[in-house]
Amino acid sequence: MDMSGRVSGLGIELLNQSNYKIWRTCMESYLVGEDLWEVVCGNAVVAPEDAQENADVLKVWRMKNAKAEFLLKRSISPDLFEHIIGCKSTSEIWTTLDGLFNKKNMARLQMLENELANTTQGSLSISQFFFKIKNLCSEISLLDPEEPISEARMKRHIIRGLKREYIPYICYVDSRVGSTTIFGGV
């Protein structure tokens, strides 16, 4: 890991409380590309039987499993490591992380809703701020598919969180174009 919170050499951001969907997509692609996916979630998640005739196959499986395990462990933030410390295989690590982040968890949903409500542009660029809001809305919608965040609600959060210096511009653009603007009359 380098100082920017990325996995060295991969350009993948460390898994943290708010980027599971992006991390999972990138990590899955990387594991497939490195021919390690089969030991994580494919047909080879269980080690071959430890018999003399399987010695070479077992050796290859152990090597692939160890590479994938190291990669997964090095790609998560330290505060999440305690969740996977007892896992015995890469398949178990993947399943544990998926269960941790990819279920309807009311406490996590509330945390994300609070983060969305309190997110402001601050020192972020406009594009960084837009992406942060969009990612939060997307993750909330994944956790609660019965009540996904509408585009209009997402736009209201964006406008509400922008620096004050942008508000006159937004009002001007919205008044010139009317309710057909990207701000939806907000």
User: 93 and 151: one domain?
Assistant: no
Domain boundary residue, one of 41, 69, 101: 101
Domain boundary residue, one of 101, 133, 162: 101
**What pLDDT does 57 receive?**
84
Where residue 184 falls (left for φ over 0; alpha for ψ -120 to 50; beta otherwise) is left
User: 74 and 124: one domain?
Assistant: no
SS3 assignment, position 12? strand
Strand partners, 185: none
Express each pLDDT in 53-73 by its tens digit: 778 888 888 899 999 999 999
**What pLDDT does 50 receive?**
73
Indicate the number of domains in the chain: 2
User: 144 and 92: one domain?
Assistant: no
Name residues of the chain where pLDDT drops below 70.
1-10, 44-45, 48, 103-104, 177-186
User: 81 and 14: one domain?
Assistant: yes
User: 113 and 39: one domain?
Assistant: no
**What pLDDT does 183 receive?**
47
Express each pLDDT in 20-36 by its tens digit: 888 988 999 999 999 99
- The answer to whether residue 186 sits within a structural domain is no
d(CA 146, CA 70): 37
Q: How far is CA 62 from CA 53, 66, 68, 89, 172, in A?
A: 15, 6, 10, 10, 62
List the domain range (segments joined by +) for residue 19.
Answer: 6-101
- The answer to whether residue 185 sits within a structural domain is no
Tokens found for residue 14: 């460390």
